[in-house]
Chains A and B, each alone.
Chain A
């Protein structure tokens, strides 16, 4: 059941992105989509609306970039609980450090090792 929910919820979140691309003007790029989903996910998370989706759909809610926003927001809130203002500033980055570091390190290695095909 968790697999079906991950598929359906993850798919629907991507449909939102697709509608955004298709229904708005040509100037919307993947960069806008990714930035929008991170900000949207963080705001929903801060309002307490994203965690229920994660509880329901697991990776279906955490794999879309809105899940990255969720981790940032929860990290910041957790940081405030533990260390006050310093945690507010560092918490989000700390919570997402592993994912970002993996993306940069492996992204670099792959970009150096492979060449684009044309």
Chain B
């Protein structure tokens, strides 16, 4: 009879082997092509953002215009996720569609929509924060940390 620790160790070894196998078998990504696509899609999203920013700066201060720009991009991306278009952009753009705030909006809508059948509390309500949750948790932690360091040393 093997001890618990030994069994656990064996399990971890198997998991590690499996992970290495996945890395090996996974088709090698065409890095240059992926980067060009990410550049084009990410750049285009930021260009659209700049159009809204320039428009809002006409009637609002810098802070408000920035917030309104982010809000507008989030609403557009949420809608495009709803009608299934953002997925297509994502398939082409890779990180170009993940890194902008539109990717954040997509990460909120997609799982919430997907798991609606699990109900409005554990389905929509909880899944909304599938990815947004960790982002907000670490965002708050790092901003508090920065604030406290600034408070202590500045």
Contact = CB atoms under 8 A, between A and B. Distances in A.
Is A bound to B?
yes
Interface of A: 2-3, 6-23, 25-27, 30-31, 33-35, 37-39, 42-43, 46, 57-60, 62-69, 71-73, 75-77, 79-80, 84-85, 87-89, 91-93, 96, 98-100, 102-104, 106-117
State the majority secondary structure of interface residues on A: helix
A2 B138 contact: no
17 contacts: A7-B46, A14-B42, A17-B42, A17-B98, A18-B34, A30-B131, A34-B107, A38-B142, A62-B70, A63-B101, A67-B70, A80-B150, A88-B151, A99-B71, A103-B108, A107-B78, A111-B124
A25 B154 CA distance: 40
B148 A85 contact: yes
A3 B50 contact: yes
Contacts of B29: 21-22
Size range of the interface on B?
Answer: 35 or more
Interface of B: 19, 22-23, 26, 29, 31, 34-35, 37-47, 49-54, 66-67, 69-71, 73-75, 78-79, 81-84, 93-96, 98-105, 107-110, 112-114, 116, 120, 124, 128, 130-132, 134-136, 138-140, 142-144, 146-151, 154
Contacts, number: 287
B49 A13 contact: no
Nearest to A92: B143
Contacts of B51: 3
A76 B146 contact: yes
Contact of B135 (A14, A22, A65, A87): A65
Contacts of A15: 35, 38-39, 42, 95
Contact of B46 (A9, A73, A84): A9
A113 B101 CA distance: 22
Contacts of A76: 143-144, 146-147, 150
